[in-house]
Amino acid sequence: MSDAHLTERPVDDGPDPVELTDEPIQLSRRDPANEPEPGRGSRRRRIALAAVLVVGLAGLGALGVGGWRVLQQKDPRLSTPAEVAGLHRDDSDRARSTADYLRDGFAADIELDRSFGTVYADPADAKRSVLVFGGATLLWQPERDLDSLFGLMADETGKVTGLREVDAGRLGGVMKCGTTNGDGGDFAVCGWADHGSVVMAIFPNRSVDDSAALFRRMREAIERR
Protein backbone atom coordinates (compact mmCIF):
# COMPACT_ATOMS: atom_id res chain seq x y z
CA MET A 1 0.00 0.00 0.00
CA SER A 2 1.34 3.44 -0.95
CA ASP A 3 1.82 6.11 1.71
CA ALA A 4 1.10 8.94 -0.69
CA HIS A 5 -2.19 9.84 1.01
CA LEU A 6 -0.21 10.77 4.11
CA THR A 7 1.96 13.29 2.34
CA GLU A 8 -0.89 14.81 0.32
CA ARG A 9 -2.82 16.02 3.45
CA PRO A 10 -2.54 19.81 3.78
CA VAL A 11 -0.71 20.91 6.83
CA ASP A 12 -1.14 24.68 6.78
CA ASP A 13 -4.86 24.62 7.79
CA GLY A 14 -4.39 22.67 11.01
CA PRO A 15 -4.08 24.10 14.53
CA ASP A 16 -0.85 25.54 15.76
CA PRO A 17 1.41 22.97 17.30
CA VAL A 18 1.38 22.69 21.07
CA GLU A 19 4.49 24.07 22.67
CA LEU A 20 5.93 21.77 25.26
CA THR A 21 7.24 23.41 28.42
CA ASP A 22 8.50 22.28 31.77
CA GLU A 23 5.52 23.87 33.57
CA PRO A 24 2.71 21.50 34.68
CA ILE A 25 -0.59 21.75 32.86
CA GLN A 26 -3.34 23.09 35.16
CA LEU A 27 -6.60 21.22 34.57
CA SER A 28 -8.81 23.19 36.99
CA ARG A 29 -9.04 26.60 38.58
CA ARG A 30 -8.21 25.30 42.08
CA ASP A 31 -5.02 26.67 43.51
CA PRO A 32 -2.58 23.81 44.04
CA ALA A 33 -1.17 25.67 47.03
CA ASN A 34 -4.51 25.25 48.82
CA GLU A 35 -4.89 21.58 48.05
CA PRO A 36 -4.51 19.10 50.97
CA GLU A 37 -1.37 17.12 51.15
CA PRO A 38 -1.47 13.83 49.28
CA GLY A 39 -3.17 11.17 51.37
CA ARG A 40 -4.63 13.58 53.98
CA GLY A 41 -8.18 13.49 52.59
CA SER A 42 -8.17 9.74 52.26
CA ARG A 43 -6.95 9.40 55.84
CA ARG A 44 -9.79 11.61 57.03
CA ARG A 45 -12.29 9.53 55.12
CA ARG A 46 -10.90 6.35 56.62
CA ILE A 47 -11.09 7.82 60.14
CA ALA A 48 -14.67 8.97 59.59
CA LEU A 49 -15.64 5.58 58.19
CA ALA A 50 -13.99 3.81 61.12
CA ALA A 51 -15.91 6.03 63.57
CA VAL A 52 -19.20 5.21 61.85
CA LEU A 53 -18.41 1.51 61.95
CA VAL A 54 -17.52 1.65 65.65
CA VAL A 55 -20.79 3.41 66.48
CA GLY A 56 -22.72 0.96 64.34
CA LEU A 57 -21.09 -2.06 65.92
CA ALA A 58 -21.73 -0.63 69.41
CA GLY A 59 -25.39 -0.19 68.51
CA LEU A 60 -25.61 -3.74 67.22
CA GLY A 61 -23.91 -4.98 70.37
CA ALA A 62 -26.40 -3.17 72.60
CA LEU A 63 -29.27 -4.51 70.52
CA GLY A 64 -27.86 -8.01 70.79
CA VAL A 65 -27.48 -7.81 74.57
CA GLY A 66 -30.96 -6.36 74.96
CA GLY A 67 -32.47 -9.00 72.69
CA TRP A 68 -30.73 -11.80 74.56
CA ARG A 69 -32.02 -10.41 77.88
CA VAL A 70 -35.60 -10.37 76.55
CA LEU A 71 -35.33 -13.97 75.33
CA GLN A 72 -33.81 -15.04 78.63
CA GLN A 73 -36.49 -13.43 80.80
CA LYS A 74 -39.66 -13.91 78.77
CA ASP A 75 -42.20 -16.66 79.52
CA PRO A 76 -41.26 -17.41 83.15
CA ARG A 77 -43.09 -19.93 85.30
CA LEU A 78 -44.72 -18.29 88.31
CA SER A 79 -46.01 -20.41 91.18
CA THR A 80 -47.08 -20.03 94.80
CA PRO A 81 -45.34 -22.78 96.79
CA ALA A 82 -46.82 -23.86 100.11
CA GLU A 83 -43.74 -22.48 101.89
CA VAL A 84 -41.62 -19.52 100.85
CA ALA A 85 -38.72 -18.04 102.79
CA GLY A 86 -40.04 -19.30 106.13
CA LEU A 87 -43.61 -18.16 105.39
CA HIS A 88 -46.62 -20.44 104.93
CA ARG A 89 -49.25 -19.95 102.24
CA ASP A 90 -52.56 -18.98 103.83
CA ASP A 91 -55.35 -20.91 102.10
CA SER A 92 -58.16 -19.74 104.37
CA ASP A 93 -61.28 -18.27 102.77
CA ARG A 94 -60.48 -14.82 104.11
CA ALA A 95 -56.94 -14.91 102.73
CA ARG A 96 -58.12 -16.21 99.37
CA SER A 97 -60.73 -13.47 99.14
CA THR A 98 -58.08 -10.83 99.85
CA ALA A 99 -55.68 -12.40 97.34
CA ASP A 100 -58.36 -12.55 94.62
CA TYR A 101 -59.22 -8.90 95.23
CA LEU A 102 -55.59 -7.85 94.84
CA ARG A 103 -55.06 -10.03 91.78
CA ASP A 104 -58.17 -8.71 90.01
CA GLY A 105 -57.31 -5.11 90.78
CA PHE A 106 -53.76 -5.59 89.55
CA ALA A 107 -54.88 -7.36 86.36
CA ALA A 108 -57.21 -4.44 85.64
CA ASP A 109 -54.23 -2.07 85.51
CA ILE A 110 -51.98 -4.14 83.25
CA GLU A 111 -52.69 -6.77 80.62
CA LEU A 112 -51.32 -10.08 81.86
CA ASP A 113 -51.10 -13.48 80.23
CA ARG A 114 -51.28 -15.18 83.63
CA SER A 115 -51.98 -13.64 87.03
CA PHE A 116 -51.99 -14.74 90.65
CA GLY A 117 -52.55 -13.45 94.15
CA THR A 118 -51.81 -15.10 97.46
CA VAL A 119 -51.19 -14.41 101.13
CA TYR A 120 -48.23 -15.78 103.02
CA ALA A 121 -48.55 -15.94 106.79
CA ASP A 122 -45.66 -15.46 109.18
CA PRO A 123 -45.86 -18.24 111.79
CA ALA A 124 -44.08 -15.98 114.29
CA ASP A 125 -46.52 -13.07 113.98
CA ALA A 126 -49.98 -13.09 112.40
CA LYS A 127 -49.75 -9.33 111.83
CA ARG A 128 -46.77 -9.73 109.51
CA SER A 129 -48.49 -11.64 106.71
CA VAL A 130 -47.27 -10.79 103.21
CA LEU A 131 -49.68 -10.15 100.35
CA VAL A 132 -48.22 -11.01 96.94
CA PHE A 133 -49.87 -10.42 93.56
CA GLY A 134 -48.77 -10.11 89.94
CA GLY A 135 -48.39 -12.10 86.78
CA ALA A 136 -46.53 -12.91 83.61
CA THR A 137 -46.48 -10.85 80.43
CA LEU A 138 -43.96 -9.52 77.92
CA LEU A 139 -42.62 -6.16 79.08
CA TRP A 140 -40.32 -4.17 76.83
CA GLN A 141 -39.62 -1.48 79.45
CA PRO A 142 -39.88 -3.18 82.86
CA GLU A 143 -38.78 -0.22 84.98
CA ARG A 144 -41.20 2.18 83.33
CA ASP A 145 -44.10 -0.24 83.77
CA LEU A 146 -43.17 -0.91 87.40
CA ASP A 147 -43.09 2.83 88.13
CA SER A 148 -46.53 3.17 86.54
CA LEU A 149 -47.92 0.44 88.80
CA PHE A 150 -46.48 2.12 91.89
CA GLY A 151 -48.28 5.26 90.75
CA LEU A 152 -51.57 3.37 90.39
CA MET A 153 -51.11 1.88 93.85
CA ALA A 154 -50.62 5.38 95.23
CA ASP A 155 -54.01 6.32 93.81
CA GLU A 156 -55.59 3.48 95.78
CA THR A 157 -53.71 3.49 99.08
CA GLY A 158 -51.96 6.85 99.27
CA LYS A 159 -48.66 8.15 98.02
CA VAL A 160 -45.72 5.74 97.99
CA THR A 161 -42.89 7.60 99.69
CA GLY A 162 -39.17 6.88 99.72
CA LEU A 163 -39.43 4.74 96.60
CA ARG A 164 -35.96 3.52 95.69
CA GLU A 165 -34.28 0.81 93.69
CA VAL A 166 -32.95 -2.15 95.62
CA ASP A 167 -30.87 -5.19 94.68
CA ALA A 168 -32.94 -7.39 92.37
CA GLY A 169 -30.87 -10.51 93.08
CA ARG A 170 -29.66 -13.15 90.68
CA LEU A 171 -32.83 -13.07 88.53
CA GLY A 172 -32.11 -9.54 87.42
CA GLY A 173 -34.62 -7.04 86.19
CA VAL A 174 -35.47 -4.15 88.47
CA MET A 175 -36.77 -4.16 92.04
CA LYS A 176 -38.01 -1.14 94.00
CA CYS A 177 -39.42 -0.60 97.48
CA GLY A 178 -41.08 2.25 99.33
CA THR A 179 -43.58 2.99 102.06
CA THR A 180 -47.31 3.71 101.90
CA ASN A 181 -50.18 3.72 104.38
CA GLY A 182 -53.38 1.82 104.91
CA ASP A 183 -55.93 0.98 107.58
CA GLY A 184 -53.27 -0.63 109.74
CA GLY A 185 -50.82 2.27 109.40
CA ASP A 186 -47.64 2.51 107.34
CA PHE A 187 -46.31 -0.56 105.58
CA ALA A 188 -43.60 -1.38 103.08
CA VAL A 189 -44.43 -2.16 99.47
CA CYS A 190 -42.04 -3.73 96.96
CA GLY A 191 -42.23 -4.69 93.33
CA TRP A 192 -40.09 -6.44 90.78
CA ALA A 193 -40.30 -6.36 86.99
CA ASP A 194 -38.33 -8.00 84.21
CA HIS A 195 -39.08 -8.69 80.56
CA GLY A 196 -41.42 -11.56 81.46
CA SER A 197 -43.10 -10.76 84.78
CA VAL A 198 -44.17 -8.05 87.20
CA VAL A 199 -45.05 -8.77 90.83
CA MET A 200 -45.77 -6.60 93.85
CA ALA A 201 -46.04 -7.34 97.55
CA ILE A 202 -47.26 -5.58 100.69
CA PHE A 203 -45.32 -6.06 103.93
CA PRO A 204 -47.16 -4.91 107.08
CA ASN A 205 -45.04 -4.26 110.17
CA ARG A 206 -41.71 -4.63 108.35
CA SER A 207 -39.06 -2.10 107.43
CA VAL A 208 -38.24 -1.41 103.81
CA ASP A 209 -34.82 -3.04 104.12
CA ASP A 210 -36.24 -6.20 105.72
CA SER A 211 -39.01 -6.31 103.14
CA ALA A 212 -36.56 -5.99 100.24
CA ALA A 213 -34.44 -8.86 101.54
CA LEU A 214 -37.51 -11.04 102.10
CA PHE A 215 -38.93 -10.17 98.69
CA ARG A 216 -35.73 -11.33 96.95
CA ARG A 217 -35.97 -14.67 98.72
CA MET A 218 -39.64 -15.01 97.86
CA ARG A 219 -38.95 -14.20 94.21
CA GLU A 220 -36.42 -17.00 93.88
CA ALA A 221 -39.06 -19.46 95.04
CA ILE A 222 -41.93 -17.99 92.98
CA GLU A 223 -40.24 -17.27 89.63
CA ARG A 224 -38.65 -19.96 87.48
CA ARG A 225 -37.21 -19.65 83.99
User: Mind giving me the DSSP string for 150-214?
Assistant: HHHHHHHH---EEEEEE---TT-SEEEEEEEEETTEEEEEEEEE-SSEEEEEEEET--HHHHHHH
Q: What count of Cα atoms within 13 Å lies in the side-chain half-sphere of residue 55?
A: 6
Beta bridge partners of residue 42, listed in sequence order: none
What's the 3-state SS for 132-162? EEEEECCCCCHHHHHHHHHHHHHHHHCCCEE
Which residue type, as a one-letter code, is found at position 172?
Answer: G
Residue 65 confidence (pLDDT): 56
Q: What is the model's pLDDT at position 16?
A: 53
CATH topology of domain 77-224: Protein Transport Mog1p; Chain A (3.40.1000)
pLDDT score of 193: 97
Q: What is the pLDDT of residue 109?
A: 82
Nearest to 192 by CA among 135, 112, 140, 154: 135
Domain residue spans of the chain: 32-73, 77-224
Which positions of the chain have pLDDT values less than 70?
Answer: 1-66, 73, 155-158, 184
pLDDT for the residue numbered 68:
78
Stated pTM of the model: 0.69
Distance CA 182, CA 177 (A): 16
pLDDT score of 34:
55
* pLDDT score, position 55: 46
> What are the tens digits of pLDDT across the range 149-205?
998 877 666 688 999 999 999 999 999 999 988 776 789 999 999 999 999 999 999
Count of helices and strands (H, E) across the chain: 5, 10
Nearest Cα to Cα of residue 196 among 78, 76, 64: 76
Give the whole-angstrom CA distance, residue 132 versus residue 142: 18
